[in-house]
Structure 1
Amino acid sequence: MCGLPAIGLGTWQNTDWETCIDSVSTALEAGYRHVDTAQYYGNEEMVGEGIAQADVPRDEIVVATKVHAEKFGLAYEEVIEGLEVSLDRLGLDSLDLLYVHWPVGNYDAPETMSAFDELLDRGLIDHVGVCNFSIELLEEARDHLESPLFVHQAETHPLLPRDDLIAHAQKHGYHYVAYSPLARGSVFDIPEIRDVAERHGVSPAQVSLAWLLQKDNVAAIPKASGEGHIRDNLRALDLELTTDDVDRIDDIDRTKRFVERQGAPWLDE
């Protein structure tokens, strides 16, 4: 598939005004072409300023944000209003990608997805995404969308591989985006990751990202604010792991989830 750069810049918890602006502009000028934010992060204005300051044409950048039940809500008019506010904060006329952040609160597939179709029809967004959905909820959302689902985003890393969700994306032809792909920094302490990194002379972050990116249809949005980490993560695009490397990471038998939320689909699993 095309249209979604393999590595994007995650911006969760990046809420210092100057730091966020600098990290976004630095990432874009370093070669990133995918920036991910959300209403809930409280940094859309900063992200927009970073995009404006970077010497990169707007049409080369995939900009994504997310509507949230606890911000504007997920009813039809609330989604429309929320997107308009997000565009104003970002300083953009339209958005490349809009997500449902969580299927909680007043999320209702028929009503929420119809709002996304309306935004597409009005040219305010180019693509529809969802975050933190189960396979059952993915099927329901797809059933109520007139347009194709473009992407599903979920926490995914060597301690939470989510093979089921990735396989669903591959089967049905939409993208999959891994957030928290470095397991909130825990990949630096995983012996299997460290061993592979030492063998290749790269960072554990690059190994974790390369492991994800070698899967069909998968992209990742590592969070980084300093220039060193921003550039290091991007170098994962040049790292090719061996079959043995991948098998060793796949065989990690420890599981840990870092993102929990009341009402999350997996609480019923």
Structure 2
Amino acid sequence: MSLNIESCVTLNNGVKMPQLGMGVWQVNNTQAAQSVEWALKHGYKAIDTAKQYGNEKGVGIGLKKGLADNNLKREDIFLTTKIYNGDQGYESTLEQFEGQLKNLQTDYVDLLLIHWPVDGTYLSTWKALEEIYRQGKARAIGVSNFNITKLQDILKTASVKPAVNQMEFHPLCQEEDIKNFCDEQNIYLEAWSPLGSGSVLKDTRLQKIADKYNKSVAQVILRWDLQRDIITIPKSSHEARIEQNADIFDFELSDDDVNEINGFDLDKRSLWYGSFTWHGNPDGYKDSVEEWDD
């Protein structure tokens, strides 16, 4: 399987999306700007953020500088952001998304996702995404953290099928039922927290496989993602790790090793919709994940 850092998958609307990108969850604006600059320096072509992360402004600053420093154009980069839970609903989504574009210093994103399926609003939010897509302000649209039932709800009324479902996905949480459903529907599964927020890196079984290839556990996991046809967006705010996470194209896991890792699944999620309900906030919605009540 010949892959490189610019290798892309083809989404169901024909748009090409890099299979490896970088996420910026749980970093502030300053850290996000620096991480994006480093990512572009080391060849990444995809960046994933969200309004709920509270760092879209930083990503916009980092993109502007990173593009200039590396002689890149905006169209060379695949940018993803997400609709904030508190902004969901048709009119609110359309209105608030304009502010997201302003913060990101761009007039379009490459992929726009509904961050969570907020009860009572995710269907109207999807209609707003379809309108944003028709306006050319998003090249592709999709969802995040949607189980099969909620995906089916979208598909019943959608005029544009979701291109991506971004889920927690790593060796201990493989979402097999959701992945199989997405495969059947030609919806790409994208892994957030592909390294299990660091916890998976201590797995001795993975270390044994990593030793065989003279690679880190993180590199083995990311390579496994690619060979499973998963889009993956590891997050780091350290330049050395950002560089190391991209150093996964000079080896290939054997089928036996891929299958062994497939067997590690414990359906062990760190966060899921059942324990993450959106209750609303009469005092106004907060901008940062660290400020949520859930």
Q: TM-score, normalised by structure 1?
A: 0.91
Determine the structure 2 residue equivalent to 1:226: 238
The residue aligned with 1:248 is 260
The 5-angstrom pairing of residues 104-183 of structure 1 reads: 104-109=118-123, 111-183=124-196
Query: 2:192·2:234 contact (CA, 8 Å) conserved in 1?
Result: yes
For residue 9 of structure 1, the aligned residue among 12, 16, 22 is 22
Residue 32 of structure 1, aligned match among 33, 40, 44: 44
Q: Is the 8 A contact 1:69 1:105 kept in 2?
A: no
The one-letter code matched in structure 1 to 2:45 is R
What amino acid is aligned across from residue 256 of structure 1 in structure 2?
K
- For 1:127 and 1:154, the matched residues in 2 are separated by 17
- Work out the CA distance in 1 between the residues paired with 2:134 and 2:206: 45
Q: After TM superposition, where is structure 1 displaced by more than 3 Å over at least 4 residues in a row?
A: none
Distance in 2 of aligned mates of 1:133 and 1:255: 15
Distance in 1, matches of 2:250 and 2:144, equals: 28
> Given residue 27 of structure 1, which amino acid in structure 2 is its aligned partner?
A
What TM-score comes out, normalization by structure 2 length?
A: 0.84
Residue of 26, 33, 51 corresponding to 1:21: 33
Distance 1:239 1:148 in 2: 35
1:267 matched to which residue of 2? Answer: none
Q: Distance in 2 between matches of 1:253 and 1:76?
A: 37
CA distance in 1, matches of 2:235, 2:115: 17
Quick check: 248-257 or 225-234, which moved more? 248-257
Partner in structure 2 of residue 203 of structure 1: 216
Contact 1:206 1:239 in 2 (8 A): no
Mind listing any 5+ residue stretches in structure 2 that lack a counterpart?
1-8, 11-15, 279-294
> What is the aligned partner in structure 1 of residue 247 from structure 2?
235
Q: Please tell me the residue identity of whatever aligns with 1:135.
A: I
Alignment partners' CA distance in 2, 1:95 and 1:78:
18
Which sits farther off after the overlay, 125-134 or 169-178?
A: 169-178
Q: What is the distance in 1 between the residues matched to 2:151 and 2:249?
A: 29
| Aligned-partner Cα distance in 2 for 1:253–1:173 | 23
Contact in 1 for aligned 2:173/2:265 (Cα 8 Å): no
Question: By how many angstroms is 1:256 displaced?
Answer: 2.4
1:67 is matched with which residue?
A: 83
Q: Give, in whole Å, the separation in 2 of the partners of 1:103 and 1:153.
A: 12
- The Cα of 1:142 is off from its aligned counterpart by 2.2
> Which 5+ residue runs of structure 1 have no aligned equivalent?
265-269
Deviation at 1:262, TM superposition (A): 2.3
User: Would you say the 8 A contact 2:89–2:121 is kept in 1?
Assistant: yes
Matched, 1:85 2:85: no
Of 167-176 and 226-235, more deviation after overlay is shown by 167-176
Asked if residue 97 in structure 1 is aligned to residue 111 in structure 2, the reply is yes
- Give, in whole Å, the separation in 2 of the partners of 1:212 and 1:166: 12
Secondary structure at the residue paired with 2:159? coil
Deviation at 1:16?
Answer: 4.8
Identity of aligned residues (%): 35
Q: How much is the aligned-residue C-alpha RMSD, in angstroms?
A: 1.6
| Conserved 8 A contact 1:8-1:34 | yes
